[in-house]
Amino acid sequence: MYKDYFILPWREMKRRKLRSWLTLIGIIIGIAAIISLISLGEGLQNALSKQFAMLGEDKLLITAKGNILTAGLSIDAIKITEKDQEVIQKTPGIKKTAGMIYSTGRIEFNDHVRYFFIEGMPTDPEERALVGETNFFHLLRGRPLQNNDNYKAVLGYEYTKETMFEKEISLGDKIKINNKDFKVVGFWERTGSPQDDSAIMIPLETYQDLFNKPKELGMIFAQTAPGEDPLKVAEKVEKTLRKSRKVKEGKEDFTIQTPNQLAQTFETIITMVEAVLIGIASISLLVGGIGIMNTMYTAVLQRTKEIGILKAIGAKKVHILTLFLIESGLYGLGGGIIGIIIGIGFAKLVEFIFSLMVGPSFLAVELNWWLVGGTLLFSFLVGCLSGVAPARRASKLNPVDALRGE
Amino acid sequence: MKTKKPSQKPVITLSNVWKTYHMGDVELNVLKGISLEIYPKEFVAIVGPSGSGKSTMMNMVGILDVPTKGQIFLEDQDIAKTTESQLAQMRGKKIGFVFQQFNLIPTLTALENVILPTIFQNLPEKIRQERAQKLLMQVGLGERLHHRPTELSGGQQQRVAIARALINDPEIILADEPTGNLDSVSGQHIIDLLVKLHKDENKTIILVTHNEELINYCERVIHLKDGQIFKTEYVKNLHVPSKK
């Protein structure tokens, strides 16, 4: 029986194709934006939490005051050093520590010069694991850095390309970093992160020597002993560091974070950005809803006579109301369906572009039925709500006046 | 002159019906105390010059409008005491409308137009399909079921409208200038259909018309002037047009 109520609105929408499409566009844009933003945002959060999970939950990250993004690049006076590492290592509850540091360096090969990140990395296998190297990087060729390596380098995936220096770098080749010769001993596989793929790893001590930063570190990784609560250990580390660095509580010049906290920090940022963007997209949805309302008011005017006819042949108020609500609901639903398709398409396109730029499987669009179903329901509701006032006007028309109208 | 049929109850009764419109400060009395009874199976014409209140009276008889003063009964039901929804329901069930402008829904096919009134009466799908096809066959449009109104001639459209008016098997057919927009051949076709409905199916037919030809088929002709009935003629020989 209910399908009968769809025929009339559907035919009407088909009859006025241009107006129907124009009405739909508002909703389509809003829904497409919301769907692509949410699915990309979720995908990005997933990608990041995966990266942080690879660090392990039992780890603490100690950096000079600032944040993870500027660690190692800090040009201000606050530094952390191997002395801090020793202090941390002695704190109860800490199993192992490792330090690393990085900054931009001048790289020369085949008479070409490029500037990329140089990373001073530990050479001890356990320490390498602790800073995450073993989890994130996999060897393509050669070997990783070893103990007693001096002026040796392991290069990121980008250096395997000829385009970098107009000539391919091979194992055993010499490259110049800050005018010092380094022997290439290995290449990493592609990681997907442009920064990591163009970085060069050298032994920590070599780095400190090369950049004239004796004993200096960019960040310290500390692994807590099994069974210890990382957050409680972090408090202890903070206390001992405060003492050794002679700073007062609340005036710490260093930061201790767990990978979970880091992940949460990033998630919060992404969520906030997402919220703002979705807020903007919602405005477009609101405008779309107003568009539907406008179309429906016009429809009531244009079809006044038709409403009169329907009333003359026995349509009650509720029938007229239903017919017009279905029509506006269809606008919402139709816009929702097309919007979701376009939104998913756009998100997939971004995913594809990402995979070309930074490697596959870094950013996977996250779609769930809850999101699609919810968006669909929401767009239908927007349509229905926009139609309430026009539909009520239509249903209240007096049959005689309506029949007279043209 | 035929007298009223006291043995039967009227299907529609107008009792001292007034309709007043307010145009700014001016009161316009369109109907001034009309009293009228229409009996089952009657063929009645309402005639009068334009501005005489024909259309308003038509709206009253078709319970599309309510009087400013006075009472209207559809059978025993006082329409002042029914809700708008009940009125719509009664219209759909008991009255079939045929308009001068045909008033078909342009986006629907002939068949869908005919079926439309049954949707509001919750008639089962199968029955309404059969009934609509049968009716379109009866009005000679069996081949035009899936044509849109714009693909039909005026006469054909009016026949679709008649089929639509009949779909809920109403007792009363209310036709407002049904031949007013048609050429004489098409008009005659419509007249024949209405006469046949009256004769074979015992429908009560109420016409508003100028068409002399059509008036000649009626049993009773009510003349309106200035919102009042000023003359009622009874025609004896139903199917033989009286020559003037």
| Domain ranges for chain B | 12-234
ipTM for this prediction: 0.90
Angle between helices A17-55 and A317-358 (to 10 degrees): 40
Locus of tokens 């929401």: A378
CB-CB: which of B65, B85, B164 is closest to A313? B164
Say yes or no to pLDDT of A70 above 80.
no
Residue identified by tokens 């529609």 is: B12
Confidence of residue A361 (pLDDT cuts 50, 70, 90): low
Q: How far apart are CA A326 and CA A339, in angstroms?
A: 19
Of A49, A84, A60, whose CA–CA distance to A243 is shortest? A84
Mean pLDDT per 10-residue interval, chain B, length 244 residues: 61 94 88 93 91 89 92 91 91 94 94 94 90 94 94 95 95 92 90 91 90 84 92 68 40
Q: Chain A within 8 Å of B140 (Cβ-Cβ)?
A: no
Rounded to an integer, what distance in angstroms lies between the CA atom of residue A383 and that of residue A388? 9
Asked if A316's CB is within 8 angstroms of B62's CB, the reply is: no
Maximum alpha-carbon separation in chain A: 99
Taking the Cβ of residue A1 and every Cβ of chain B, the question of whether any pair is shorter than 8 Å is answered with yes
Percent of chain A predicted with pLDDT > 70:
95
Alpha-carbon dihedral sign for residues A49, A54, A60, A66: negative
Q: Dihedral of CA A83/A132/A130/A107: which sign?
A: negative
Least Cα distance to A289 among A100, A19, A28, A94 occurs for: A28
pLDDT at residue A47 greater than cutoff 60: yes
**How far is the C-alpha of A144 from the C-alpha of A122, rounded, in Å?**
11
pLDDT of A247 above 90: no
Among B72, B103, B172, B174, the residue to mutate for chain A (most A Cβ within 10 A): B103
**Of residues A234 and A67, more confidently modeled:** A234
The phi and psi torsions of A23 (rounded to 5 degrees) equal -65, -40
Note the residue count of chain B: 244
The more confident residue out of B144 and A354 is: B144
- Predicted confidence at residue B243, as pLDDT, reads 40
Residue type, B77: Q
CA distance A169 to A12: 68
A20 closest CA partner among A357, A395, A383: A383
Q: Which residue has the tokens 């385009």?
A: A163
pLDDT in tens, A279-333: 988 898 899 999 999 999 999 999 999 999 999 999 999 999 999 999 999 999 9
Average pLDDT, stretch A185-192?
88
Nearest CA in chain A to B90: A314
Please, what is the angle between helix A317-358 and helix A4-15, to 10°? 60
Residues 57-116 on B with a CB inside 8 Å of A are 59, 62, 64-65, 84-85, 88-89, 91-93, 97, 99, 103, 105-108, 112, 116
Among A316, A337, A336, residue whose Cα is nearest residue A386: A336
For the cut 90, the answer to whether the pLDDT of residue A346 exceeds it is yes
Long-range contacts of B234-238 (CB under 8 A, 24+ apart): B234/B1, B234/B2, B236/B2, B238/B43, B238/B199
- Per-residue pLDDT, A176: 93
DSSP letter for each residue of chain B? -PPP-TTS--SEEEEEEEEEEEETTEEEEEEEEEEEEE-TT-EEEEE--TTSSHHHHHHHHTTSS--SEEEEEETTEEGGGS-HHHHHHHHHHHEEEE-TT----TTS-HHHHHHHHHHTTT--HHHHHHHHHHHHHHTT-TT-TT--GGGS-HHHHHHHHHHHHHTT--SEEEEESTTTTS-HHHHHHHHHHHHHHHHHH--EEEEE---HHHHTT-SEEEEEETTEEEEEEE-S-SSSPPP-
Determine contact, residues B232/B3, Cβ cutoff 8 Å: no
Select the residue of A14, A306, A313 nearest B117 (Cβ to Cβ). Answer: A313
Say what the pLDDT of residue A264 is. 81
* Nearest CB partner across the interface for A314, out of B65, B91, B112: B91
pLDDT for A312: 93
How many Å apart are CA A315 and CA B87, to the nearest integer?
10
Residue B239: its pLDDT value, please? 44
**Rounded CA gap, A142 and A344, in Å?**
42
How far, CA to CA in Å, does A188 sit from each of A130, A138, A145, A185, A279? Answer: 18, 6, 11, 11, 42
Q: Would you place residue A340 in the very low, low, confident or very high pLDDT band (cuts 50, 70, 90)?
A: very high
Q: Are B165 and B102 in contact (CB under 8 A)?
A: no
| Average pLDDT score, chain A | 87
Confidence at A33, pLDDT banded by 50, 70, 90: very high
Chain B: residue whose CA lies nearest to A10: B107
What is B12-234's CATH number, 3.40.50.300, 3.10.180.10, 3.30.470.20, 3.90.1560.10? 3.40.50.300
> Residue written as tokens 């002679």?
A246
Q: Which residues of A84-96 are buried (b: 16+ CB within 10 A; e: fewer)?
A: bbebbeebebbeb
**Residue of A11, A313, A400 with shortest CB distance to B108:** A11
Partner A contacted by B120 (CB < 8 A): yes
